[in-house]
């Protein structure tokens, strides 16, 4: 785990604040961030592997495409 510098951490929290509370003016945003800065802990995660289910529509589409390729081969 790496320790982010304060500048990088502040830039990240500013982007999150703008995304989720876009109507908030800059002065209020900076005040809220400054008020909660000391207990703020940010973690960066890197996904190495992910699994999941495939939508039935994609499965059917792949299946029909596979059949089309089999029928098309000489």
What's the pLDDT at 69? Answer: 58
Q: Encode pLDDT of 15-66 as tens digits.
A: 999 999 888 888 999 999 999 999 998 888 888 988 877 777 877 777 666 5
pTM above 0.75, yes or no: no
With b for 16 or more beta-carbon neighbours within 10 A and e for fewer, the 14-40 pattern comes to eeebeeeeeeeeeeeeeeebeeeeeee
Residue 6 has pLDDT above 70, yes or no: yes
Query: Is the sign of the CA dihedral 31, 36, 41, 47 positive or negative?
Result: negative
User: Could you tell me which residues come within 8 angstroms of residue 21 by beta carbon, excluding any fewer than 6 positions away?
Assistant: 29
**30 to each of 15, 23, 55, how far by Cα in Å?**
12, 13, 42
Q: Where are the domains of the chain?
A: 6-72
């Amino acid at each position: 785990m790496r320790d982010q510098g304060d500048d990088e951490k502040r830039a990240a929290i500013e982007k999150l604040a703008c995304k989720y509370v876009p109507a908030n003016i800059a002065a209020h945003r900076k005040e809220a961030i400054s008020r909660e800065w000391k207990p703020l802990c940010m973690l960066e995660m890197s996904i190495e592997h992910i699994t999941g289910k495939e939508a039935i529509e994609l499965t059917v589409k792949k299946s029909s495409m596979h059949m089309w390729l089999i029928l098309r081969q000489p």
